[in-house]
Amino acid sequence: MPANARKSKANCFGLGLDLRGEAFQAAWCVALLVFLYDLATLGTDLGPYDSSELALVAVDIGLSHPIGQPLHTLLGIVWVRLWGWMLSPLTALALMSSLFHSLTAIPAMALATSEGNLRENHAPWLAGLVIAGALLLPPLWDCGTRVEVYALSAFGFAWALAWMEHREIEPERKSFGAGLGLGLTFSANAYHGALLGGITALRIAEGKLPKQQPALTLWPLLKGFGLGLLPYTYVPAIAWLKGRGFIWGDPSNFERLLAYFQGEDYERNRGTTLTEFGEHLVEWFRWSASGPILWLLLLGGIAIFLIRKERPLSRFDGLVLGTSTACLLCSHRIFHPEIADYQNYLGPAILLGSTAIANRVAHFSWKHPRARTTCTTLAITLFFLQSASSPPFWARSRGRDRVLGHIVREAIEKAPPQAFVLIASDHWVAPLLYVQLVEKRRADIALVPLGLAASSWFWRLFFEQHPDLQGFPLQGAGGRMGRIQRLLNAHPERPILVESGWIAQGLGLGFCEAGWWLLARPCPAPDWLRHSISTQATPSFFAQSIALVDAGSPPTHEILAALAIERAQALWQLGRHEEALRVLDAASLPRYRLGPWPPSLRAFPFPLPPLPACPRSAPILPPLCPAGVQIAGLSAIDPEEAALRAERIWH
Kindly report the backbone phi and psi dihedral angles of residue 253, in degrees, each rounded to the nearest multiple of 5, phi listed first.
-135, 175
Residues 329, 433, single domain; the answer is: no
The count of C-alpha atoms lying within 13 angstroms of the C-alpha of 237, restricted to the half-sphere facing its C-beta, is 8
Confidence class of residue 597 from pLDDT cuts 50, 70 and 90? Answer: very low
Residues 518, 547, single domain; the answer is: no
Kindly report the backbone phi and psi dihedral angles of residue 623, in degrees, each rounded to the nearest multiple of 5, phi listed first.
-75, 155
pLDDT of residue 108: 92
Query: Could you tell me the maximum CA-CA distance found in the chain, to the nearest angstrom?
Result: 92
Confidence class of residue 71 from pLDDT cuts 50, 70 and 90? Answer: very high
pLDDT of residue 598: 32
Q: What integer is the mean pLDDT of 474-482?
A: 82
Confidence class of residue 1 from pLDDT cuts 50, 70 and 90? Answer: very low
Residues 473, 343, single domain; the answer is: no
Give 418's DSSP letter.
T
Residues 419, 291, single domain; the answer is: no
Contacting residues for 81 by C-beta, under 8 A, at least 6 apart: none
Residues 410, 452, single domain; the answer is: yes
pLDDT of residue 118: 66
For the ranges 153-157, 223-227, 385-389, 435-439, which has the lowest average pLDDT?
Answer: 385-389
Range of the domain at 595: 539-650
pLDDT digits (tens, 9 = 90+) for 243-261: 788 999 889 889 889 988 8
Which is it for strands 496-498 and 517-521: parallel, antiparallel or unpaired?
A: antiparallel
Residue 612 has pLDDT above 60, yes or no: no
- H/E segment holding residue 514: strand 512-514
Residues 358, 341, single domain; the answer is: yes
Residue 193 has pLDDT above 90, yes or no: yes
Contacting residues for 134 by C-beta, under 8 A, at least 6 apart: 108, 140, 296, 350, 351, 354, 355, 386
Top mean-pLDDT range of 113-117, 156-160, 204-208: 156-160
Residues 191, 298, single domain; the answer is: yes
Confidence class of residue 213 from pLDDT cuts 50, 70 and 90? Answer: confident
Give the SS3 label for residue 69: coil
Confidence class of residue 215 from pLDDT cuts 50, 70 and 90? Answer: confident
Of 395, 425, 453, which residue constitutes the final position of a domain?
395
Residues 476, 592, single domain; the answer is: no
Residues 252, 292, single domain; the answer is: yes
Structurally, the chain folds into a number of domains equal to 3
Residue 646 has pLDDT above 70, yes or no: no
Give 394's DSSP letter.
G
What is the signed CA dihedral for 159, 165, 170, 176, rounded to 10 degrees?
40
Percent of the chain scored above 90 by pLDDT? Answer: 35
Among residues 354, 357, 352, which one has the least CA distance to residue 303? 357
pLDDT digits (tens, 9 = 90+) for 504-518: 888 888 888 888 888
pLDDT of residue 238: 93
- What pTM value is reported for the model? 0.86
Percent of the chain scored above 70 by pLDDT? Answer: 84
pLDDT of residue 533: 66
Among residues 538, 560, 534, 566, which one has the least CA distance to residue 547? 560
pLDDT digits (tens, 9 = 90+) for 80-114: 999 988 899 999 999 999 999 999 999 999 888 87
CA dist 178 and 291 (Å) reads 33
pLDDT of residue 173: 85
Residues 309, 193, single domain; the answer is: yes
Residues in a beta bridge with 517 = 514
pLDDT digits (tens, 9 = 90+) for 382-435: 999 888 888 889 889 898 888 899 999 989 988 888 999 999 888 899 999 999
Kindly report the backbone phi and psi dihedral angles of residue 183, in degrees, each rounded to the nearest multiple of 5, phi listed first.
-65, -45
pLDDT of residue 509: 86
Residues 547, 520, single domain; the answer is: no
pLDDT of residue 629: 33
pLDDT of residue 189: 93
CA dist 102 and 93 (Å) reads 14
Amino acid, single-letter form, for residue 30: V
In the predicted model, what is the mean pLDDT of the chain? 81
Of 509, 532, 555, which residue constitutes the final position of a domain?
532
Top mean-pLDDT range of 363-377, 457-471, 625-639: 457-471
For the ranges 49-58, 263-272, 536-545, 593-602, which has the lowest average pLDDT?
Answer: 593-602
Q: Is 110 within 8 Å of 9 (Cβ atoms)?
A: no
Q: What integer is the mean pLDDT of 550-575?
A: 79
Residue 620 has pLDDT above 70, yes or no: no
CA dist 252 and 245 (Å) reads 13
pLDDT of residue 117: 63
pLDDT of residue 271: 67
Of 505, 532, 559, which residue constitutes the final position of a domain?
532
pLDDT of residue 610: 32
Amino acid, single-letter form, for residue 603: A
Residues 273, 328, single domain; the answer is: yes
